[in-house]
Amino acid sequence: MRKFSLILMLCLACASLFAEPKSIYDFTIKSIDGQQVSLGSYSGKVVLLVNVASKCGFTPQYAGLEKLYEKYKDRGLVIVGIPANNFAQQEPGTDEEIKKFCSSKYMVTFPMMAKVSVLGDDQTPLYTFLTGKSTDPQFGGDIKWNFTKFLFDRSGKPVARFEPATTPDSPEVAAAVEAALGK
Residues noted as catalytic: 56
Closest listed residue to residue 28, CA positions, set 113, 143, 139, 96: 113
Distance CA 3, CA 100 (A): 52
Longest dimension (CA), the chain: 64
With contact defined as beta carbons under 8 Å apart, do 91 and 98 qualify?
Answer: yes
DSSP string, 132-170: -TTT-TTT-S---STT-EEEE-TTS-EEEEE-TTS-TTS
With contact defined as beta carbons under 8 Å apart, do 66 and 109 qualify?
Answer: yes
CA dihedral (71, 76, 82, 88) positive or negative: negative
